[in-house]
Amino acid sequence: MRRWLPLLPALLITVGLFGGGLLLSVVQSLGYAPALGQTALNVDAYRALLADHTFWASLGLTAWVATISTALAAVFGTGLALLLHRAGRAAPGHAARLRFLAGLTLPIPHLVAAILTLLLLSQSGLLSRLTLAAGLTQGPQDFPALLYDPRGVGIILELVWKETPFIALNVLAVLSGLDPRLQDVARSLGAGRWSRFTGITLPLVRPALLSSGVLVFAYTLASFEVPALLGATSPTTLPVLAYRAFTDADLNARATAMALSVVIALLGGLLVWAYVRAQAAGRLR
């Protein structure tokens, strides 16, 4: 009992409040709404979602945006980590300053980053003005529509810009702890740059890459501000769809909102479960 006492307040928040809230979402997604006089459980909301073309388009967009931004952030993050590592070793006095500069985008809230993307990349944004001044485009309509597009290019660009340093700094922490003699041995055995990377560096940073990648994927899956500001009205991502249903004047849309929330939580939960299972089985070491 004494062991549980210090854990109690925190568990009250994470299990009681958060877990309890999720459970209430599940119950309400099953149509339980005593305020509306509905107490019988049903799966109508889910059945309606499965039959709804908007839901599938939204699910597809959400999965695409999360997958592609995580993959790009992982590739760029690893590359940036390697650059930072090499530069830090070449000039040890600068290592901390470089890390600071690389991390400078981390504290910028996604809402502000989305606004920056808007000011920079919209068809009347700064980049479009500069390409016009340089004679590369004739007007705003010539500039590629990166925002409000059905493939979520603007959303992806924002997420990659924000999440690349996060992955880079996680990978860099592992790189800094590696014994440089591993590389020397491989080089003396005749291994080229690429085979040293795939044979030594990548396997060693993989756990850090995967764990930060899972966090990025889970974040992007549930991100709201970015698709709300930079995405098309339709299709939009699941969290935006869920919020719209939640604030719908028709209270019967509540069950839909809850069902959408449950689907998003399930997607994130499945991913984490698969990751934890793979890790326990030793496949990620």
Partner 1 sequence: MTAPRRPTTLALGLGVSALLPLALLGTWSFAGRWFFPAPLPTEWSLRAWSAVLAPGAQVWTALWGSVWVATVAALLGTAIALPAARALGGWRGAGRGWVQAALLGPLVLPAFASVMGIQVVFIRLGLADTRVGVVIAHLIPVVPYAVVLLGGVFAGYDPRLEEVARTLGARPAQVWWRVTLPAILPGVLVTGLFAFLVSWSEYLLTLIVGGAQVLTLPLLLFSAVQGGDYAITAVVSLLYLAPTLLVFALVAPRVQGWRT
Binding positions for partner 1, 172-191, rule CB under 8 A: 173
State which of positions 43-72 bind partner 1 (CB under 8 A).
none
In this complex, which beta carbon is closest to partner 1, that of residue 141 or of residue 188?
141
Q: What CA–CA distance (Å, rounded) separates 105 from 99? A: 11
User: Which one, of 171, 126, 121, lies nearest residue 146 by Cα?
Assistant: 121
In this complex, which beta carbon is closest to partner 1, that of residue 20 or of residue 203?
20
Q: What CA–CA distance (Å, rounded) separates 37 from 25? A: 17
Q: What CA–CA distance (Å, rounded) separates 155 from 161? A: 10
Count of CB atoms within 10 A of residue 115's CB? 15
Give least dist CB 201 to partner 1, A.
18
Give least dist CB 91 to partner 1, A.
4
In this complex, which beta carbon is closest to partner 1, that of residue 68 or of residue 229?
229
Among 30, 65, 68, 84, binds partner 1 (CB under 8 A): 84
105 part of the interface to partner 1, by CB under 8 A: yes
199 part of the interface to partner 1, by CB under 8 A: no
251 part of the interface to partner 1, by CB under 8 A: no
108 part of the interface to partner 1, by CB under 8 A: yes
Bridge partners, 33 (sequence order) = 38
The 264-283 site mask, x for binding partner 1 (CB under 8 A), equals xx--xx--x-----------
| Number of chain residues interacting with partner 1 (CB under 8 A) | 90
Cα distances (Å, whole numbers) of residue 36 to 33, 181, 243: 5, 69, 20
Buried b (16+ CB within 10 A) or exposed e, 178-212: eeeeebeebeeeebeeeebeeebbeebbbebbeeb
User: Which one, of 31, 50, 52, lies nearest residue 254 by Cα?
Assistant: 31
Q: What CA–CA distance (Å, rounded) separates 210 from 167? A: 9
The 109-128 site mask, x for binding partner 1 (CB under 8 A), equals xxxxx-xx-xxx---x-x-x
Give least dist CB 85 to partner 1, A.
11
236 part of the interface to partner 1, by CB under 8 A: no
